[in-house]
Amino acid sequence: MASVGAASGSLVARDALAFGEDGAFEPKILLAGGVTGPARASAPSRWSVEVEKRTSAPARRQPRTVKATDAALLETPFLYWSSTGGISPLSNPEIAGLRQFFALRGFLVVDDADPESGAFGKDARREIARVLPDAAPVAVPSEHVIYRTFYLLKPARPWGRKLGTPIADAIMKAGDIRVIFLAHDLGGALARNALGTWEMSVEPDGDVQRERAIRWAVNLAMYGLTTNYKDDSVHTPFILKRRATTP
């Protein structure tokens, strides 16, 4: 690679005011709106592998799938929702479950795996607007901390299998990103087959773009792990120890 620098069940009421404290990254796969799995099946596990390898943070190598009505939805703060096509409207229980997730400051990555059609991205925005009706997506500024939670991305923009738009939209609350909408097929840049070979080509810039996409994925993971991350306070030891920059 070319271098560019480096158990299902009903949702239950809880007394806890925050997610679990084990600190392990897990890109839990959201099953909602008729989505039955990630668009790129191997991508979530590969995401965990890259986070462990590059940051020394613990990660779950076999991320779980969760429905928006599952109690497990609230166990960790990171959710990954991806598809290649349109989705059906969320049910009222699904909406209620996701509202509880966001009330605990959960972080959702919406990854459109077919950005050329944009069907999933469009429908996901529609449904998230029903979950969070008082918050509209805005462009994430290039100076936002998400572009430097671990790697200092240059240029500061989203990356994936497709180059796509240089700006990501997000729903923010008090400066924190709660939902980020990606139109770049990030999972497509991460996916590998059983032999470890990349499953999909990355366009237009090949290995350099793939490396940037992986670094972007690591930054997203770090942002999800450190939900109280501030510009002037990196409070996770492995970030301090292994923080890297891109030239």
Hunting for tokens 């940037």 — which residue is that?
212
Which amino acid makes up residue 17? L
pLDDT of 180-234, one tens digit each? 999 999 999 999 999 999 999 999 999 999 999 999 999 999 999 885 433 433 3
Of all residues in the chain, what percent carry a pLDDT higher than 90? 79
Q: What is the mean pLDDT of the chain?
A: 86
What are the structural domains, with CATH classification, of the chain? 28-245 (3.40.50.12140)
237: its two tokens: 């030891």
pLDDT at residue 135 is higher than 50: yes
CB atoms under 10 Å from CB of 186, counted, come to: 29
Measured in residues, the chain has a length of 247
Q: Report residue 182: phi and psi, to 5°.
A: -110, 135
pLDDT at 20: 45
Give the pLDDT confidence score for residue 227 in this predicted structure: 58
First-to-final CA distance of the chain: 16
pLDDT tens digits for range 56-99: 899 999 999 999 999 999 999 999 999 999 999 999 999 999 99
CA dihedral 202, 206, 212, 213 (to 10 degrees): 10
78 near 26, Cβ under 8 Å? yes
Cis check for the bond before 58: say yes or no (omega within 30 of 0): no
Token pair for residue 28? Answer: 């839990």
Q: What is the mean pLDDT of residues 158-166?
A: 97
Predicted confidence at residue 22, as pLDDT, reads 57
pTM, full prediction: 0.86
Question: In the prediction, which pLDDT does 226 show?
Answer: 80
203 bridge partner residues: 162
Q: What is the DSSP letter of 198?
A: B
Percent over 70 (pLDDT), the chain: 82
